[in-house]
Structure 1
Amino acid sequence: MDVVYVEIEITSSLSASKVFKVYTYFDIIAPKINPESYKTITVIKSDGGVGSIRA
């Protein structure tokens, strides 16, 4: 298993709450949008908030 840390700053017309909602479903959305990069994403420990662990 690899550990990846990414920090990106993006300007968006969406509200912060909508962007965070998309991020909380990243494990479902990413494999559908970019299957070449993401085969599966497993949620190890998560309540959907800050500090959630995904692999």
Structure 2
Amino acid sequence: MVDEEADVAEEAVFLALAQGPCPPRSPLRWALDKAFIIFLALTLTLLTLEAVRPLL
């Protein structure tokens, strides 16, 4: 297994991870991301409450 990992050069791994900073997000994209996170949190909360309700 060590031989398989040795085939990958250390520089190749560094170049794959060094992509630079992300470009700034537009206000519309930021608002959509925030709305999606809120929707996801509410959905998970409702599913959790629905799963726990029979146990109470």
Q: TM-score, normalised by structure 1?
A: 0.29
More contact order relative to length (CA 8 Å, sep ≥ 6): 1
Higher helix share: 2
Q: TM-score, normalised by structure 2?
A: 0.28
Higher strand share: 1
